[in-house]
Amino acid sequence: MIFALRACDSVTVYGLSDYEYCKRHRNDPDIPYHYFDPTLYSECGLFNKSESHPKESHRFLTEKYIFSRWRDTHNLSFRYPSWDDV
């Protein structure tokens, strides 16, 4: 994302859920993280686990929060799913 923001005048991101997604969809069935192995991890399960084990994994929710802050200072937009409601 950093490279894209430095190399391009604007960046449009597709297929990245926002940092509040798991809070809004607590009661929904688990969405698989990988389409090719839907039984391995649920999307929210992996995201929440990554936040509680920061030395062992990528911090997905923290990253998404940072991206949401960058929207305010860079020409960065999120489409499908839209981040307009965050």
The model's pLDDT over 33-75, given as tens digits with 9 standing for 90+, comes to: 777 777 777 888 878 777 787 677 788 888 888 888 888 889 8
* Span 5-40, pLDDT tens digits: 999 999 998 888 888 888 887 766 677 777 777 777
In the chain, the amino acid numbered 4 is: A
- Measured at the CA of 8, the angle between CA 64 and CA 81, to 5 degrees, comes to 35
Q: How confident is the model at residue 86 (pLDDT cuts 50, 70, 90)?
A: low
Block residue for tokens 């859920």: 17
First CA to last CA across the chain, in angstroms? 19
- Spatial separation of the C-alpha atoms in residues 12 and 14, rounded to whole Å: 7
- Whole-model pTM? 0.69
Contact predicate 46/60, CB 8 Å: yes
